[in-house]
Amino acid sequence: MSEHSANPSTATAASGRPRAVKAVIPAAGLATRFLPATKAVPKELLPVVDRPVLQYIVEEAAQAGIDDVLLITGRGKTSMVDHFDRRPDLEERLEKKPELLAAVRRSEELAAIYTVRQPEQLGLGHAVGYAESHVGDAPFAVLLGDEFVKQSEPLLPAMLELQARTGGVVLAFFEVDPAETKRYGIASVEPAEAELTDIGEIVKVTGMVEKPKPEDAPSNLAVLGRYVLPSRIFDAIRRTEPGSGGEIQLTDAMELLRKEGVPVHAIVYRGTRYDTGMPLGYLQTVVQIAAEREDLGSEFRKWLAEFVNSDAAGGSGT
């Protein structure tokens, strides 16, 4: 149970409203941008140095006080759950290797992991809909399974606080190069109410456009894969028709709530975000995290600098 929690499904913020204490990780998608690697291995299990992407995400939730995590899985994805299972046979073998043993145990102790299956991949909104019976009547966080933020620059705690104050939908944005807007969901915003600005750089969301051309983009604020949602979202998902790509989109369900008067705010995140959903972002993530590791960072950085300047990397050579 979360340390913030007085009962299993909610904790109360200063506003008197319940604070989200459960997280949902939708991870049932087909991961087409990472084929053929993801034919048999879920993208959430691709390793970043020595831990799968999914562990960084569960760590991000745990660091924010969330220790109840629902994984939405699909066909061929059950191995994700195994990563968080106990392995007494392995632990026994590692008795004389305390550091490895601690690393194995850590993945088992981060959070209570639950799963539900999305039988057909009909979109992110459709996937989140499967969390209803686990989440119940309380607000909850959604963390996409291929994106995470730097541990020392957390985002989720401020999002949880903001949601507990507004009771509405809370998103996170990051700034993109205006020429790149067609790769992202882009928001139109206005200044937030003054009483919310102590939490961080907060904006009020007035609309969202999927992948607009630069000339049509209302801003350069792109949607990051973190949401804190009120339980009313489930009803909105049920009322959402298939949208872009024939999928039931979470964005459309949130837009339905916004039009019905539910407040929608976002935090503008200025920390480091890692996007592992496609090969280039994944490679950048591995290099950044490896370079910062205490145990192997200095050796890796030295090798990387030499490699970048070598003929093998097409560099200038030294």
Q: Which stretch binds ligand UTP (CB under 6 A): 58-66, 141-149, 233-241, 268-276?
A: 141-149
Structure tokens at 16: 């008197």
Q: Which stretch binds ligand UTP (CB under 6 A): 84-92, 142-150, 192-200, 264-272?
A: 142-150
Residues 6+ apart with CB under 8 A from 75: none
Residue 80 contacts ligand UTP per CB under 6 A: no
Residue 122 contacts ligand UTP per CB under 6 A: yes
- Counting DSSP H helices and E strands in the chain, the numbers are 11, 15
Amino acid at 101: L
Residue 26 contacts ligand UTP per CB under 6 A: yes
Cβ at position 30, least distance to ligand UTP in Å: 4
SS3 12: strand
Q: Which of 33, 150, 211, 301 binds ligand UTP (CB under 6 A)?
A: 33
Q: Between 192 and 254, name the residue whose CB sits nearer to ligand UTP.
A: 254
Cβ at position 157, least distance to ligand UTP in Å: 22
Residue 208 contacts ligand UTP per CB under 6 A: no
Residues 6+ apart with CB under 8 A from 294: none
- Measure the CA angle with vertex 260, ends 70 and 13; round to 5°: 50
Cβ at position 33, least distance to ligand UTP in Å: 3
Structure tokens at 67: 């220790």
Residue 129 contacts ligand UTP per CB under 6 A: no
Residue 31 contacts ligand UTP per CB under 6 A: yes
Q: Which of 67, 132, 146, 255 binds ligand UTP (CB under 6 A)?
A: 146
- Residues 129, 249: Cα–Cα separation, whole Å: 11
Q: Which of 28, 80, 160, 205 binds ligand UTP (CB under 6 A)?
A: 28
Q: Which stretch binds ligand UTP (CB under 6 A): 11-19, 30-38, 101-109, 198-206?
A: 30-38
Q: How many whole angstroms from its chain centre is CA 217?
A: 24
Residue 162 contacts ligand UTP per CB under 6 A: no
Residue 117 contacts ligand UTP per CB under 6 A: no
Residue 133 contacts ligand UTP per CB under 6 A: no
Q: Between 26 and 200, name the residue whose CB sits nearer to ligand UTP.
A: 26
Q: Which stretch binds ligand UTP (CB under 6 A): 11-19, 117-125, 262-270, 286-294?
A: 117-125
* E strands in 66-213: 68-73, 112-117, 140-143, 147-149, 169-175, 185-191, 202-210
- Residues 180, 123: Cα–Cα separation, whole Å: 23
> Mask: binding to ligand UTP, 254-293, rule CB under 6 A, as x and -?
-----------------------x----------------
Residue 116 contacts ligand UTP per CB under 6 A: no
Q: Which of 3, 14, 32, 261 binds ligand UTP (CB under 6 A)?
A: 32
Amino acid at 309: N
Residue 118 contacts ligand UTP per CB under 6 A: yes
Among 254, 221, 228, which Cα is nearest to 171's? 228
Cβ at position 78, least distance to ligand UTP in Å: 14
Encode 28-61: b = buried (16+ Cβ within 10 Å), e = exposed: bbebeebeeebeebbbbbbebbebbbbbbbbbbb
The full 3-state SS of 204-215, as one line of letters, equals: EEEEEEECCCHH
Amino acid at 184: Y
Structure tokens at 318: 């030294």
The binding site for ligand UTP (CB under 6 A) comprises 26-34, 72, 118, 121-124, 126-127, 144-146, 277
